[in-house]
Structure formats: C-alpha cells, structure tokens
Structure 1
Amino acid sequence: MENLLPIFLDSVFGFIALFLLVKVLGKTQITQLTPFDFIAALILGELVAGALFDKDIGIVEIGFSLFLWGTMLFITETITQKYKGTRGLLEGQPSIIIRHGQLIREEMKKNNLDINQLQHMLRAKDAFSIQEVAYAILETNGTVSVMKKSTYQQPTRGDLNLVPEAARLSLTLVNDGEVIWDNLKEANHTEEWLEDELKKQEVNSVKDVFYAEWTDGKDLFVLPFVRRS
C-alpha cells in the first residue's frame, strides 16, 4: 500500500506534464502524425510508463526527462519551420503513387505499399476503382490524397437529372503478374477469357500485367509493367 501514493503522484504529474508538452509543441491531430511525431509520442509515453514502476525514479527525474525530450522536440520543430530543406529528412516527403491514371510501381515499392493497401485507402476516399483516379499522393502521415478523373468528379448524375445506374464493384483480376483466381471466378470468367481480353490490348501474357481490373459492363482495365530502357 505504501507504493500506491508515489505511483499516484507520478501518474498525475506525468499526465499533466505530457498534456502541457503537447499543448506547447502544437495541435497536430493523431491522424496527421508524421513518422517523427509517432516516434516522439512513443518515447514520451515510455518515459512516463517506465518511471511509474521504477522506485529510483521520482517526480524530479520524470520532469527532467520530459523537459529534456520536449526541448529537443521543440528545437527540431523550430528547425523544420525555419529551414525548409530539413523537412524531407525529419518529416518525410509525399509520394505520387498514381500519375495520369498510371500506377507508379517504383514509388509503391519504395513505400512498402501493395495493391490491396492502396485499394483500401482509395475506397476510404470514395474511389472504388483505380480507373477513377487521375492522381493519388501518399502523404507523410500515411494517408492518400486523391484527384479523380474529370469523368468521375462532381456534378453527380442526380445533379444533372439523369437516370440512376446500378452500382458496380470492380474486381482485381491480376496483381503484380499473378491471377486472382477467386475474383476471376466471382466475375464468372475463365482463364481463356482473361487471356483473350489481354490479347485485345496487345498484352501477350499475364506475367506482363502489373494490374488488371474488371467492372461489369466495361472493358478490362489493364496496366502492364513499364519496362525501363
């Protein structure tokens, strides 16, 4: 029981100190954290959590650690604000993942981003097909900003008083040179059909396809590998 009071005091002090530190450093939202901010948050939390169960560490030590780390964070933020050249190193840089409707495979590999992850982020931006996207930019906080092709931008069919069309979900049939057999079956198509559709677009083999997407009522959307000379 005698250990409860020190833990209580350390917890309250750590909470207040972290709260004030966040207020001083800025109002960055959790969804806007850069990799550097994320590391800083982990370390600050670890400093307080570790101190709670270390009998040799008290309020003075916690306060000093938070002050020291907070000072380094403040200096770093000041440097990035004053010297723009340091932002790329400390905060990262946005990456263009889709340009002119084409997937940039090199940028995806550099950011450890696969097709499934990209599709998930695009759907969160109301882009349910890669065909709809003119540009997609992977931001430094891990989110994706999307600019749709003009065909898929507002106004909507309702704005133009047009007859509504049935919603159609796109299916990925080829990903990085491999056929997604479950999706091909879901689309009620065969391997022969897929090969014929690829040949119509002058693609000789599935292995030459980086990405292929099928939507009912539309032609097969194919992005072949871009061979650099």
Structure 2
Amino acid sequence: MAEMIFDGWSGLARTLIVGMLAYVLLVFFLRVSGKRTLSKLNAFDLIVTVALGSTLATVLLSRDISLTNGLVAFALLIGLQLIVTWSSVRLRWVRKLLTGEPTLLLYRGEFVAQALHQARVTRDEVRSAVRSSGILALDDVEAVVLETDGSMSVVRRSSYTGPSSLEDVQRYSGRGTG
C-alpha cells in the first residue's frame, strides 16, 4: 500500500528530469513545426494534439519508455502532421478528406433545415451566433456558416457584388452577396 503512495526518490527524480526535458523539447518541436500545428483544431488536429499529450504522459510515467523513444514519437507525430498539412494546402481532395467543408446553416435570413439536421446544430445555436456578432435581425444576415473547426461565422448582408467569401461553402448556390 505504501508503494502506491511513494515508491522511492529515483522514480520521482526520473519523472522530474524526463518531464522537464520532454516538455522543453515538445515546445521546441511545436515552435519549429509552425503556427498551423497550434491553430484552431479540426478533427485531424485534435487527434494529433491528443496523441502528443498521450505520448508525453507515457514518456513521463512509464519507466519502460526512454526519453529518446518519446522524442522520436513526438518527431514522428509532428512530421506526419507537417506532411499532411503540406498536402492539404496543395491538394483539395486531401483538404476535403481531412477537414471537410464549411456548411451553410442560414442563408439570407432562412434556416437551411437539412444542413442543420446533418450538422446536429439547433436553430437556437445559430441565433446565438448571430447575437454574438451584434446582429439583431436574421434578415440582416447574409449567411451563417459552420466552419471546419466547429466555429460559426456570421456574414452580414452587403450590397457588394464582387467575389464572395461563401464560394467554398457547401450548399451555397449564389454568386456575390447582393
């Protein structure tokens, strides 16, 4: 029973030393990998983040895993993320596979019922996003878009007739926002 509470100074010293080194090296790897690794999380980014956390915990707490093995695991995960994000920037099909597409939830004051249902988003959540944007009337909203990171973007109506920010949004059929 006492061993569950304290099993010696060597285990404690290992956890402190390996923990500090692993933390510093993980921060270094994340800084080298760029801002994309730490951006708003889509599903792929979340998986990589959880895997990095799990690897850090394993390196810290398992005497069977050396710091070197942990660093190789960190480098592998971050390297794979760099390869996949590099591919997703250059290949649309990879981007769509990993992050999905933004979805139109409200268009010109009208809810898109099928999109709400498929995205499992309520009308109340959409109205809340509109209110958070400082807009009172739904008729003043051109669109509410569920972004690939799970956030909602609210676009005000505008008389502008140039290229629209909605062109890559699933179920958007209009051209311009006028």
Report the TM-score when normalising by structure 1.
0.60
State the number of aligned residues: 151
Q: What is residue 34 of structure 1 aligned with on the other side?
A: 42
- Secondary structure (helix, strand or coil) at the match of 1:2 reads helix
1:82 correspondence with 2:95: no
Alpha-carbon shift at residue 119 of structure 1 (Å): 2.3
- Secondary structure (helix, strand or coil) at the match of 1:49 reads helix
Q: 1:127 aligns with which of 130, 135, 147?
A: 135
Give the AA of the match of 2:67.
Answer: I
* Larger relative contact order (CA 8 Å, sep ≥ 6): 2
Partner Cα separation in structure 2 for residue 148 and residue 116 of structure 1: 18
- Percent of paired sites with the same residue: 21
CA gap of 1:30–1:66, structure 2 versus 1, over 3 A, is closer
Partner Cα separation in structure 1 for residue 66 and residue 33 of structure 2: 24
Bigger-Rg structure (1/2): 1
Partner Cα separation in structure 2 for residue 34 and residue 98 of structure 1: 22
Give the AA of the match of 1:118.
Answer: V
1:45 correspondence with 2:63: no
Which stretch shows the higher mean deviation, 123-132 or 91-100? 123-132
Report the TM-score when normalising by structure 2.
0.75
CA gap of 1:29–1:149, structure 2 versus 1, over 3 A, is farther
Q: Structure 1, residues 103-125: CA drift from partner, whole Å, max 9, x if none?
A: 10111111111122222222222
RMSD between aligned alpha carbons? 2.1
- 1:42-191 mapped onto 2 (5 Å cutoff): 42-149=50-157
Q: Is the 8 A contact 2:111 2:123 kept in 1?
A: no
Q: Is the 8 A contact 2:129 2:154 kept in 1?
A: no
Partner Cα separation in structure 1 for residue 131 and residue 57 of structure 2: 37
CA gap of 1:136–1:70, structure 2 versus 1, over 3 A, is same
Q: Structure 1, residues 177-221: CA drift from partner, whole Å, max 9, x if none?
A: xxxxxxxxxxxxxxxxxxxxxxxxxxxxxxxxxxxxxxxxxxxxx
Alpha-carbon shift at residue 99 of structure 1 (Å): 1.3
Gap regions ≥5 residues in structure 2: 1-8, 160-178
- Return the structure number with greater strand share: 1
Give the AA of the match of 1:41.
Answer: T
